[in-house]
Chains A and B, each alone.
Chain A
């Protein structure tokens, strides 16, 4: 079995394809000969030029799903295409809220398994093969499907680098959503956007994250201040997200964001494997922790054994004095 056609689940925010969508398009292009996007939203025409420029020749759309959630209708429309004979060899989905809903429901509808937490994809002897970081990224496992396709893969953010091909706009094809019964009964009543100043966490060149070692919620202000001084974004370990100090959108790690900045500064973070899989791709890592045995020091380029309550204020003052 070679790989001919690949579908990429294309997510967008306000008419712009998300970064992970472009990453998946780049992956798809390197693996198959035909790349098509599968999307939803009020205006697919506006997405078509960017999707096309990144290699998608066609963009299937189910149209506007609001006020419903995309999981059920998008998965059902994909499954209907497959059952009608228009089947890709692979379906690539990003590890996002909606992506996992679509992948799970598609898998159940088609009775095809899913491979998740994919960090790389290759075709080996004609078989799509996924790579998974296991044991906190110390080992890489390779897996593949043994049954009929399409092979559904859920891929982690930042696993591939987006690349433009210079292709023209993707051809927009509207597809039918079959009857969904009760599966599509959820309704979004209102969207709440939490404002954040500065660069986005997953796009920032510098990320400064805080953990439980900060001691109390107020001390997170030091992390924000340092991030601001370095023109970066503040992030967090799950410990302080779960404790309610900062919103979930700040979380770095297995269940949070994957970041690959030029510099990652970990303040009062122990370096649990689930945290490290989200940040060990940073080019440079500075860790400040009072415990010299903390696992984070095992991957830090500069480790400072010290108290964040002492080191951070002095660092912040010194940086302020320079500007």
Chain B
């Protein structure tokens, strides 16, 4: 079974975000790393390919400046190869533009299963995967917290408001995973060494046969108008517990008439 995993490479979320004053979009000029949200998809894909008794896990990523930092991490976890779409024409892409690029890249490898995260850490639109599925004409099951593959179909526990739905879907299909789905492995030293020589195919917009006006800032057809300070909540009273803090809480609850 061949699995394609969408992996986003993002700025380190620990570093404070900054807006580009001219476009009011997030600056992404530092080193990029593997989005933690996608490490679950990579792990799930590796386990499913393994259980199926063969097949490859291919990473698909769109990132600026030929960035491969995050891809190397996922290759070190065990993925076989990667497709990286990197092109100056893609700067300023929105979710739909990104989805067009990912869908075109995925088409080249016709995988049995496409895995993505429910939402990325930096963009968190949460719509890219459904857009990819629609562009590929594929069925999709989003918000999986358990996945099994058997007899040419994927069986998923899909989160719902009330609990979860057991959903079955014939392959090829797209599934998005939540953080609960598996525990991602840490790359081993051997994995890290092996990753250095694994193939990363780098593609341009033209290689994918996409119209440059459909992607990037031109294709985004949306703009940021302004950024303003939000109304701030003020910190209130802070007490240090000396064995009596519960009394202060009770008094506060009484004042609110909660009790």
Contacts and interface: CB of A to CB of B under 8 A. Distances in A.
Contact of B237 (A104, A230, A303, A307): A303
A183 B170 CA distance: 10
B138 A140 contact: no
Contacts of A194: 162-164
Given A104-B134, A242-B179, A299-B233, A249 B226 contact: no
B8 interface: no
Interface string B163-191: 11111111001000011100000000000
Contact of B95 (A72, A113, A181): A113
A191 B160 contact: yes
B104 interface: no
Interface in B140-165: 140-143, 145, 155, 158-165
A111 interface: yes
Contact of A304 (B124, B135, B179, B249): B249
Nearest to A263: B258
Contacts of A109: 134
B96 A113 contact: yes
Interface in A40-94: 69, 71-72, 75
Nearest to B220: A113
B236 A300 contact: yes
Interface stretch (A31-39, A127-135, A162-170): A127-135
A116 B256 contact: no
Interface residues of A, number: 92
Main secondary structure, interface of A, reads mixed
B231 to A, nearest CB: 9
A215 B158 CA distance: 28
Interface residues of B, number: 77
B130 A185 contact: no
Contact of B259 (A103, A181, A192, A230): A230
A306 B245 CA distance: 8
A206 B258 contact: yes
Contacts of B125: 114, 116-117, 154
Interface in A135-158: 135, 137-147, 154
Given A192-B165, A230-B258, A284-B256, A103 B221 contact: no
Contacts of A114: 95-96, 125, 127
A303 B230 contact: no
B235 A297 contact: yes
Interface string B75-108: 0000000000000000000111001000000000
Contacts of B226: 141-142
Contacts of A3: none
A146 B223 contact: yes
B223 A187 contact: no
Given A97-B158, A263-B258, A146 B221 contact: yes
Contacts of A154: 125-127
A254 interface: yes
Interface in B240-256: 240-241, 243, 245-250, 252-253, 256
A188 B165 contact: yes
Interface string B214-239: 00000011111111111011011111
Contacts of B258: 205-206, 230, 262-263
B137 to A, nearest CB: 5
A212 to B, nearest CB: 14
Contact of B96 (A107, A133, A311): A107
B119 to A, nearest CB: 7
B159 to A, nearest CB: 5
A305 B249 CA distance: 12
Given A143-B222, A284-B256, A299 B134 contact: no
A75 B222 CA distance: 21
A193 B77 CA distance: 35
B83 to A, nearest CB: 20
B118 interface: yes
A101 B142 contact: yes
B235 A299 contact: yes
B141 to A, nearest CB: 5
B128 interface: yes
A187 B235 contact: no
A284 to B, nearest CB: 6
Nearest to B235: A298
Interface of A: 13, 69, 71-72, 75, 95-97, 100-101, 103-105, 107-109, 111-117, 124, 129, 133-135, 137-147, 154, 181-194, 205-206, 230, 238, 241-242, 244, 247-249, 254-255, 262-263, 280, 284-286, 288, 292, 297-307, 310-311, 314-315, 318-319, 322
20 contacts: A104-B127, A104-B134, A108-B99, A116-B127, A117-B125, A138-B232, A140-B230, A144-B222, A144-B223, A182-B137, A183-B138, A188-B165, A193-B162, A194-B162, A286-B252, A302-B239, A303-B236, A314-B246, A319-B259, A322-B250
Q: Which 5 A-B pairs rank lowest in CB-CB distance, beginning with the nearest?
A: A104-B130, A306-B241, A147-B221, A108-B134, A301-B236
Given A100-B126, A305-B240, 15 more contacts: A97-B159, A101-B142, A104-B99, A104-B131, A124-B225, A139-B230, A141-B24, A183-B133, A186-B167, A191-B165, A192-B162, A241-B180, A297-B235, A300-B238, A303-B235
